[in-house]
Amino acid sequence: MPTGGRLSIATAVIELTTRFPGTDPDLPAGRYVVLSVADTGTGMDAAVRSRIFEPFFTTKAKGKGTGLGLATVYGIVKQSGGDILVDTDLGKGTKFSIYLPLVERVSKTSKRDSRTRAVGGGTETILLVEDETDVRRLAAEMLLGLGYQVLEASDGTDALRVWEAKRDSIDLLVTDVIMPQMGGHELAQELLAREPKLKVLYVSGYTNDVLARHGVVQPEIELLHKPFSRGVLGAKVRKLLDGPPSRPGRAGE
């Protein structure tokens, strides 16, 4: 949608009684979850439409697209025993409908998650430091939903400013590890020097060896891997708040 438009996302559960009536999909009868994504963009002609799932096929300018987007989607959906229908025409927009076989069982992880969710929240004040706005908003909403007060900062330097203004009310620091300017470990060291009883929870999408190079070494620190659910975040936060103060992590050289 190069000039804007409307993107609609919908889900549904449907029952296929005969083999799928569409052109290429070939799904056995059964119950399916349908996830559809429709846009009012350029649409595609038949020539482009026939190649969209090919790896590296792209109509975007050099450096703008990999052509791997839809090939990846196709691989995931096919591996899951599903299929994708594409309804498109030049100037008419595009609708992708993803069919995935419905699983009635509740997965082990979501069961565990609902149990940890029952752990409950609290009313303490948390300084949340994360440079990616969407991730920070999501984590803040999770914490607010658990009853906590949340102070947000977008990086280490910003967090120091918030700390100076609100230091007496802050019970826990929840910080991303790798951020531009000042990283999470350096920030924690700065704040622990001012308040040795401060509790710290690190959050990161990186693997442990990458983190070790940033001065964050397990098991001396509490680390939460991204992406995380509200239940897992809530349980870690509660455990830290109820436990002893954080020991300063081993300093990076």
Ligand X SMILES: Nc1ncnc2c1ncn2[C@@H]1O[C@H](COP(=O)(O)OP(=O)(O)OP(=O)(O)O)[C@@H](O)[C@H]1O
Binding positions for Mg ion, rule: CB under 5 A: 69
CA–CA–CA angle 109, 218, 190 (5° rounding):
115
Q: To the nearest whole angstrom, how small is the minimum distance from the Cβ of residue 69 to Mg ion?
A: 3
**DSSP sequence for 185-198:** HHHHHHHHHH-TT-
| Half-sphere exposure for 75 (CA within 13 Å, toward CB) | 7
Residues 44 and 51: their CA atoms lie apart, in Å, by 11
Residue nearest to ligand X (CB): 69
Residue 100: both structure tokens together:
């995935």
Residues 210 and 184: their CA atoms lie apart, in Å, by 14
Residue 234 binding ligand X, by CB under 6 A: no
- Main-chain dihedrals φ then ψ at residue 232, nearest 5 degrees: -70, -45
Q: Which is nearer to ligand X, 45 or 220 (CB)?
A: 45
Residues 10-69 that bind ligand X (CB under 6 A): 39, 41-44, 48, 52, 57-60, 65-69
Q: To the nearest whole angstrom, how small is the minimum distance from the Cβ of residue 10 to ligand X?
A: 15
Q: Which is nearer to ligand X, 39 or 113 (CB)?
A: 39
Q: To the nearest whole angstrom, how small is the minimum distance from the Cβ of residue 96 to Mg ion?
A: 11
Site map 64..103 versus ligand X, x via CB under 6 A: -xxxxxxx----------------------x---------
Q: To the nearest whole angstrom, how small is the minimum distance from the Cβ of residue 43 to Mg ion?
A: 15
DSSP 18: S
Computed over its alpha carbons, how large is the radius of gyration of the chain?
Answer: 24
Q: To the nearest whole angstrom, how small is the minimum distance from the Cβ of residue 85 to ligand X?
A: 13
Q: Which is nearer to Mg ion, 69 or 180 (CB)?
A: 69
Residues 211 and 213: their CA atoms lie apart, in Å, by 5
Residue with token string 């081993």: 250
Q: Which is nearer to ligand X, 44 or 159 (CB)?
A: 44
Chain centroid offset of residue 192 CA? 29
Q: To the nearest whole angstrom, how small is the minimum distance from the Cβ of residue 141 to ligand X?
A: 28
Partner touching 52 among ligand X, Mg ion, none, CB below 5 to 8 Å by kind: ligand X
> Which residues would be at the binding site for ligand X (CB under 6 A)?
39, 41-44, 48, 52, 57-60, 65-71, 94
